[in-house]
Amino acid sequence: MSGLKYIDEQTPTFFISSSSLEGRFDPYYYNSALKDFTENQNFPVKKIYEVVKSFTSGFGVGRQDQADADIGLIQIRPTNLDQFGLLKFDRNVYIPKDLIKHEGQLLEKGDVIFNNTNSQEWVGKAAYYDLEERLAFSNHITVLKVDDEQIDPRYLWLILNLYQQKKIFFSICTNWNNQSGVGLDLLKSLKIPVPDPRTQETIIETLQSGYQRRAELNNVCNSLLDGIDSYILNELGITLPEKDTSIEARMFQTTFQELSGRRFDPSFHSYDFSLESTIYPNCPVLDLVDFEPGWKKVPKPETEVSFVPMDAVDDKMAAIVGTETRIVAYAKGYTKFQEGDILWAKITPCMQNGKSTIAINLKNGYGYGSTEFYVLRCRSSVDPDYLLTLLRLKELRNCATLYFGGASGHQRVSPSFFKNLVIPIPPIEKQREIGREANRRRFEAQRLSIEADKVLEDARAEIEQMILN
């Protein structure tokens, strides 16, 4: 794609000779970073089909045809590929094993997984399959088996991810109905630099070193976050009962009075969960907060306030990571809150993931946002950071699932969960101490997470320099 001639540096307009057209007329296609790689003078440039022996796309499976985890087979989908080109298994889809008709429908170690359909921002993600277990893959995945005499599959994975991060797939994909795709013909004809085997190995080692260091930092980060629960339980003198899953323990009696006007499912009545402390007074949480209080005083319609969608809450760090500014006039139908309120997600899977935070630094002290938040406003006897730390306990969130109601996939925690919740109330200074320590651990975890991502970014920058010289 040579021959571009820009009018000037400030104007995003350029000329291209007719001989350089490749069957497309969209400007993005010709103005991508691809030319930086395809005009590379350091290494041979080849089309992908020249170094790949086979391209195989998977098959789609509707929700009605999926299987349970204990009897099904994981089907790799775009959601199983993270932004760094690694496989993740936190949101799996399982399919019946009898849908697999031949070995070619299963992944094998050494395959390169390419995400052929996604949003324009994410299309082109890739992963290297390094597992012994053979899993299925969806129609939004194309599996590449390389000619290993010419190219290491890990290098192909690396270069495809580099193209994705440089927005090359963003520029050359085709778009339809809010989806973007990289068709098989386009993928096959895509040009990539192919260094000699020794250089490929050096590039791979540089990336793997970055991944290893990132994993080490993330392990420390996760240990800090995971340790918050045991810290607060120890500080409050709370011992959670060990779960007994034996048949004898799962059979029990209850009274009609316990069932009257309440739920009938056994799991609700058998779950033995309590946050009551042995060393501090205990109190119903609704005696300590105003539940769903709204705005104390409604601002004028033209007043600018913060808008907080569910996506703006970081579930790991318990922080608001992005807000919009809107006016009060548009607040109808949204959940309203103000500075210092606790926001706690009530819908699945956001609640289980820990999407909860304290609303701080709101525009003019007010905000509104997702209807899937519960709002708790602390009274003087309870510290917001302390209460938030309690409400983020993993075991508490597990208990909250028993109060789900609504249709599958859109279940919400009933307000009765908070009506039944009793928590310890140590002296306010002790509460603040616990809240400060939980925040310290989150801030340190956030610092490590940022450092981990930078380590990988630095490794990628080094690799890009090695390829482009």
pLDDT in tens, 407-431: 666 899 999 999 999 999 999 999 9
Residue pair 32/168 in contact (Cβ under 8 Å)? The answer is: yes
For residue 121, what are the CA distances in angstroms to 176, 180, 228, 451?
14, 9, 35, 24
Q: Measured between alpha carbons, how far is 426 from 214 in angstroms, rounded to an integer?
A: 39
Q: What is the mean pLDDT of the chain?
A: 89
Is the confidence at residue 1, as pLDDT, over 50? no
> Tens digit of pLDDT for each residue in 227-273?
999 999 999 999 887 765 566 655 656 665 555 445 555 555 455 68
Average pLDDT over residues 422-447: 96
Is the confidence at residue 176, as pLDDT, over 60? yes
Element housing 169 (H / E):
helix 168-172
* List of domains in the chain: 1-31 (no CATH), 32-192 (3.90.220.20), 240-430 (3.90.220.20)
Q: Measured between alpha carbons, how far is 366 from 341 in angstroms, rounded to an integer?
A: 10
Task: Specify the higher pLDDT residue, 244 or 313.
Answer: 313
Q: Measured between alpha carbons, how far is 273 from 270 in angstroms, rounded to an integer?
A: 9
**Between the CA atoms of 370, 374, 377 and 382, what dihedral angle is there, to the nearest 10 degrees?**
-130
pTM of the predicted structure, to 2 decimals: 0.75
Residue pair 270/250 in contact (Cβ under 8 Å)? The answer is: yes
3-state secondary structure of 108: coil
Residue pair 76/136 in contact (Cβ under 8 Å)? The answer is: yes
> Tens digit of pLDDT for each residue in 51-79?
999 999 999 999 888 998 889 999 999 99
Residue 405's pLDDT band (boundaries 50, 70, 90)? confident
Lowest mean pLDDT: which of 1-10, 115-124, 185-194?
A: 1-10
pLDDT, residue 342, reads: 98
Q: Measured between alpha carbons, how far is 234 from 229 in angstroms, rounded to an integer?
A: 9
